[in-house]
Structure 1
């Protein structure tokens, strides 16, 4: 849709293609957490059973909820690719109603066994919904809306988690009627979700002829191999799973951190959850603003840096707090030393939002539509494994005598190592980060006509400038990676050459004795176009030659003219890129291309 129709991501809430889906997933996330937290409180404080101690209740409930993600994610991904997605959503929401009817009986009868069964079934419900949740968005939203849409979903999910936990704790504590009120609230949310799902527009199946493999073990392995087929996507899955590892360490330790380190009561632990949720939501929503409504993975290194910095500072802020009597929220907030703790937690989670949303959007945009849901299923499997690993590792460190702040410090430092490793394996993240910093903070870069930049398919970008910084600015303008054709000397510059080599730039020799090297460069350039990627060329003659060779090889290629310039009377550092509409094959002549480039310049 036109850019002017959607000034920001909140406008999507007025669109039928997004709003019913957003509120359906919001109701589901709220219900999951209302049910789980109410059940945890009930079995901890009210329903004492010999075979489930209060200290293990939270662990058992969490493990039962995560188990279906390991068992059934692969099957869920296949079902989502094979069938129309709205049909899957409505089935899942109808299943939720049945589960909540059973859970209602469990709450009112005080049956821990029934409620444990419902915990597992709600895990199945969330497992089935997971692939649909992220596979639906790329079908409903265009590339310019994808980051904002993911940000809204991420924000909505954490707000729903927060509200579900708060409501569950308040309702179950009501004297005499607590379990009944929880049962009614869970059923009411399930019914609301099913009604909302009825308004979600159809999202056609992407692989209707898929043969379902019902063996979860072999299909899980097949999904992971499928995801590994696109190495950038697979390593992004690992990056997201690491974020869940990182976040799970902090979320799991809030109760003990509040009690043993901050000397606060249960309400202080709830305050920490509120601060964390607000930070995640804020960071998720900031992604669209900072990315200029494109999928901007340059924000991922920024998020990783912030996660480490504020995890380390959280350790420093909490390391030397004096031992005092247990305090409530009012007394806790009244002490300035605690403001730093809350600010660290807020900014840590904000940067986690900046880290995760672009990765989700990248996976959605770069995955093949025919098996996108199975890629998301592989992501869910990895997420579950990483969260389990985080619980085991954090428990081992605490069992070995580490304090909670020391576990936070170790997690923050490990984040720097893991993130750095990922960025070296996938240099596109680092390149986009450098491009983002230069274009936003140094050159005040502005793009006009960016809707002409192709979001899919092969294209030759023809620009009037050839400097290193010019190429970095072009990286910042495009939501997709660009392969640059450059003079061989540029690849040997100290810093610029290193970055160009990271971007897999093609050395384009032009001397009379370089015929073989030029032939090899042309073959490499054609392979880039054959794979459906973007190729940037500064020579009009070279671009026309490559275009002719591509057409002769049967490669469908468009040609997009661009012009970099500094607007008249603009302050230093202000640079503008004007993007023209793609040229038709008949216009791809030296004269036609020259006229289009001249028309773009002021």
Structure 2
């Protein structure tokens, strides 16, 4: 089987391991931080929802600002060298994040006010430190993002690319699963030590990635990030299949961003569940995306196609609506105290709630994985990193917009549960874009025939 053979190859395994450790560490830190603040610092649904939205926005913002530069560097410099440098810097940023976690755990309390235009957030210095580290984590991921997919066609055979993409995607979500589980169950001070240790192991793994020198002509790097971003997106969008793939991926991750913003405060205030149950929510979501990633690769049999994308994301929207309905039914018989995992599982409708969440994530994984393969197989290998970077710019802009929308809805007093319907509505737009992508695919096939 191609997938299993790839795991035995040095041209793939170190990259896979490095990406897995990176996703694990990001989510161990991010989830530990959000759960600690939501459950032990703030005590209102509005404040918790706002913090979750701010944290998501800060993590995503670097993708919007720096992806053009990251894409140029990935195509004009050795990709393996960039991976090693970025992973070395991760050690420092995780020390900053661990310091914030430790100070918050020790109860260090220095008030800080952060103006955000239409509102002001009152917080403390440890939380500011944690958010700063989260922003730097976003910067790190921005520079690794174009590489993790674009390096695959350089190291893999053409018939291995889809399997490699699916494996990276599935491995990423298994790592997210592991990091999310640990963040919900281990003490925050242990998480602080764990993120530093994992960053060191990740750097050792990164040093084993084989060289991936630039392909084609090496051009001068444009350091004007605004001009470079506009040029990058404009130059990428001329291909209809890449154009619709990027737009569809953007709406998908906007939906994902809004859902992840909602889960921790929804678990605490609507489901009345402990932070361990909140981590179970995120775990089920991650497992489902991994299942969807592997399933779609099996259905397509190695062929890059958007054939199943429209129906997959429509199914995702239907499961979101079902999840909302179950939440409303849950509120009609809401617990009076936070449930632990055993109590949650025993509560009526808990199984249905988890199945709805699993359905959302499986359908989402089936939708998005083939779209990433479009970005690396429909362009020249020398342009792959910049295509991924252009995708990241559009994705992150849409996700930041989704975070701001969630913040505005929370500030306007709209309950977290009601905001789920926004995600369901956006699935219809993604389905339309997926259909347009499949039509463009069929048009090109007819032209070739």
Normalised to the residue count of structure 2, the TM-score between the two structures is: 0.85
Is the aligned partner of 1:85 residue 2:79? yes
Q: Work out which of the residue numbers 293, 296, 299 in structure 1 matches 2:305.
A: 296
- Give the Cα separation in 1 of the matches to 2:318 and 2:40: 41
Structure number with greater Rg is 1
- SS of the residue corresponding to residue 349 of structure 2 reads helix
Name the structure 1 match of 2:170.
155
Match of 1:65 in 2: 59
Residues 55/423 of structure 1: CA separation in 2 closer, same or farther (3 Å cut): closer
Q: Is the 8 A contact 2:57 2:399 kept in 1?
A: no
Q: Given the superposition, is the C-alpha separation of residues 108 and 391 from structure 1 closer, same or farther in structure 2, using an over 3 Å criterion?
A: closer
Match of 1:338 in 2: 350
In the alignment, the residues of structure 2 paired with residue 115 and residue 337 of structure 1 have an alpha-carbon distance, to the nearest angstrom, of 36
Q: CA deviation at 1:329?
A: 2.2
What SS class does the counterpart of residue 391 from structure 1 fall into?
A: helix
Any idea what the Cα deviations from partners look like across 1:518-568, whole Å, max 9, x if unmatched? Answer: xxxxxxxxxx5xxxxx32xxxxxxxxxxxxxxxxxxxxxxxxxxxxxxxxx
Whole-angstrom distance in 1 between the partners of 2:302 and 2:430: 28
Q: Deviations over 1:274-298 (max 9, x none)?
A: 1111111100111221111222321
Equivalent position of 2:334 in the other structure? 324
The correspondence of residues 301-316 of structure 1 with structure 2, limited to 5 A, is 301-316=310-325
Cα deviations by residue, 1:52-101 (Å, 9 ceiling, x for unpaired): x8775444433332222122111010000001211111111112123334
Partner of residue 265 from structure 1, selected from 255, 270, 274: 274
Q: Secondary structure at the match of 1:482?
A: helix
Distance 2:427 2:38 in 1: 34
Q: Aligned pairs, how many?
A: 421
After superposition, the C-alpha distances for 1:239-265 in whole angstroms (9 at most, x for unaligned) are 001110111222211123323433333
Quote how far apart the aligned CAs of 1:407 are: 2.8
Using CA pairs below 8 Å that are at least 6 residues apart, which structure has the higher relative contact order? 2
How far did residue 162 of structure 1 move? 2.8
SS of alignment partner, residue 209 of structure 2? coil
Whichever structure has more helix as a proportion of its residues is 2
Matched, 1:123 2:138: yes
Q: State how far apart, in whole Å, the 2-side matches of 1:44 and 1:336 are.
A: 25
Pair 336,425 (structure 1): closer, same or farther in 2 beyond 3 Å:
same
TM-score by length of 1: 0.65
Task: Determine if contact 1:72/1:216 at 8 Å carries over to the other structure.
Answer: yes
Matched residue SS, 1:213: coil
SS at match of 2:197: helix
> Which ranges of structure 1 fall in alignment gaps of 5 or more residues?
1-6, 432-479, 484-527, 529-533, 536-602
User: Partners of 1:152 and 1:204 in 2: how far apart?
Assistant: 23
Instruction: Classify 1:185/1:417 alpha carbon distance in 2 versus 1 (closer, same or farther; 3 Å).
Output: closer
Q: Which residue does 1:468 correspond to in 2?
A: none
Contact 1:146/1:295 (8 A) holds in 2:
no
- Post-superposition CA distance 1:143-167 (Å, at most 9, x none): 3222222222122222222322333
Q: Tell me how far 1:106 sits from its aligned partner.
A: 5.2
The residue that corresponds to 2:119 in the other structure is none
1:276 aligns with 2:270: no
The 8 Å contact of residues 48 and 265 in structure 2, kept in 1 or not, is answered as no
5 Å-filtered alignment, 1:161-172, equals 161-172=176-187
Q: Deviations over 1:265-318 (max 9, x none)?
A: 333222211111111110011122111122232121231232122222223333
Map 1:579-598; keep pairs closer than 5 Å. none
For 1:104 and 1:309, the matched residues in 2 are separated by 39
The answer for unaligned runs of 5 or more in structure 2 is 105-124
Supply the distance in 2 between the matched residues of 1:368 and 1:10 (Cα, whole angstroms).
27
For 1:413-562, what aligned pairs fall within 5 Å after superposition? 413-424=425-436, 427-428=439-440, 481-483=444-446, 534-535=448-449
**Which residue is 1:211 aligned to?**
220
1:361-403 CA-to-partner distances (Å, cap 9, x unmatched) read 0111002222221111111111211112222223444555544
Q: Distance in 2 between matches of 1:244 and 1:427?
A: 22
Q: Distance in 1 between matches of 2:306 and 2:445?
A: 14
Q: Which residue of 2 aligns with 1:15?
A: 9
The answer to whether the Cα contact below 8 Å between 1:72 and 1:127 also exists between their aligned partners in 2 is yes
Q: CA RMSD in A?
A: 2.7
Select between 322-331 and 229-238 the one with higher mean Cα deviation.
Answer: 322-331
Alignment of 1:370 with 2:382, yes or no, is yes
Residues 408 and 169 from structure 1, CA distance in 2 versus in 1: closer, same or farther, beyond 3 angstroms?
Answer: closer
The answer to whether the Cα contact below 8 Å between 2:53 and 2:404 also exists between their aligned partners in 1 is: no
SS in 1 for 2:151: helix
